[in-house]
Amino acid sequence: MKTYIVGNWKMNFTVGEASIYLHKLLRTIRSYRGIEVVIAPSTVALQPLSLQIDRHKLKLAAQNCYYRDFGAYTGEVSVAQLRGLVDYVIIGHSERRYIFRESDKDIREKVAAAIRCGITPILCIGETENERNFGETEDVLKDQLLGGLQNVSEEDLEKVIVAYEPVWAISSTKDAKLASPDDIAKSISLIRKHLEAKFGAKRVENIPVLYGGSVNPSNAGAYLTIPGINGLLIGGASLIAPQFNDIIEVAKRVQE
């Protein structure tokens, strides 16, 4: 399976800055057959960057989408409108769940719409610090995972990527902590266990599961060697070209 290195730029960079930054990235990063590098700029930058991008080196992702194709939905951008611009769409990021109050129902509709439009959904799940302290991690992961995938058929499962991002480990969270490889390994095995129970072990084997939360060039290697992990979803460090580039190089070394 490929290793996915996904940079989530969140609400950073103007369109001009994004274009300059992409130019810098395209100059520095090398393309490797086993590594899929993806960047998720804000929606306004997707169209210009889609013209500038070298798809051998990088693919584009949207950070969100709406599940209806067209209509009276002021302010929304549908997956149908993203077709041709992006290959991936991040769905259910914790910032969408907790700041914008997205429900599991919204998220499952978005996942289904992405699959229908031929765009790979990256479904994000993860427990908050409180949920972790109350011993609710497994229940939360199971609910978010199976809730998000409720409308996905067994055949379509292979079109999905899952990203595990414990909210307490995201660098912008107040008092963020670094997740240990052991913590992550436990959650990844829970995620795979619940996927297998629903879809069968054979189908789940090929589902990429990514990790996200304070990833940087020094910890990327340890995270990428956790069993069951197939890549990283990176926030802060993806905004600094040399760090993002170093993480890609770490991924390459881990693959060798």
Q: Is 62 in the site for ligand 13P (CB under 6 A)?
A: no
Exposure class string for 227-241: b at 16+ Cβ within 10 A, else e: ebbbbbbbbbbbbeb
138 is catalytic: no
Q: Which is nearer to ligand 13P, 8 or 120 (by Cβ)?
A: 8
**Of 98, 248, 79, nearest to 168 (Cα)?**
98
Q: Is 92 in the site for ligand 13P (CB under 6 A)?
A: no
- Under a CB-based contact definition with an 8 Å cutoff, are residues 21 and 53 in contact? no
Q: Is 215 in the site for ligand 13P (CB under 6 A)?
A: yes
Residue type, 196: E
**Tokens representing 227?**
């069993």
Q: Is 220 in the site for ligand 13P (CB under 6 A)?
A: no
CB-neighbour burial class of residue 254 (10 A; exposed 0-12, middle 13-18, buried 19+) = middle
Residue carrying the six token digits 């949207």: 62
Question: Going residue by residue from 168 to 207, which x/- string records binding to ligand 13P, judged by CB under 6 A?
Answer: --xxx-----------------------------------
Shortest CB 237 distance to ligand 13P, Å: 6
Shortest CB 162 distance to ligand 13P, Å: 13
What is the end-to-end Cα distance of the chain in Å, rounded?
A: 13
Question: Going residue by residue from 111 to 150, which x/- string records binding to ligand 13P, judged by CB under 6 A?
Answer: ----------------------------------------
Within 10 angstroms of residue 182's Cβ, the number of other Cβ atoms is 8
Shortest CB 149 distance to ligand 13P, Å: 19
Q: Which is nearer to ligand 13P, 4 or 199 (by Cβ)?
A: 4
CA atoms within 13 A on the CB side of 82: 35
Q: Which is nearer to ligand 13P, 52 or 172 (by Cβ)?
A: 172
Report in angstroms the alpha-carbon separations of 150 from 109, 112, 223. Answer: 9, 9, 28
Contacts with ligand 13P in 152-171 (CB under 6 A)? Answer: 165, 170-171
Shortest CB 173 distance to ligand 13P, Å: 8
Enumerate the active-site residues.
93, 165
Name the residues that contact ligand 13P, by CB under 6 A: 8, 93, 165, 170-172, 212-215, 233-237
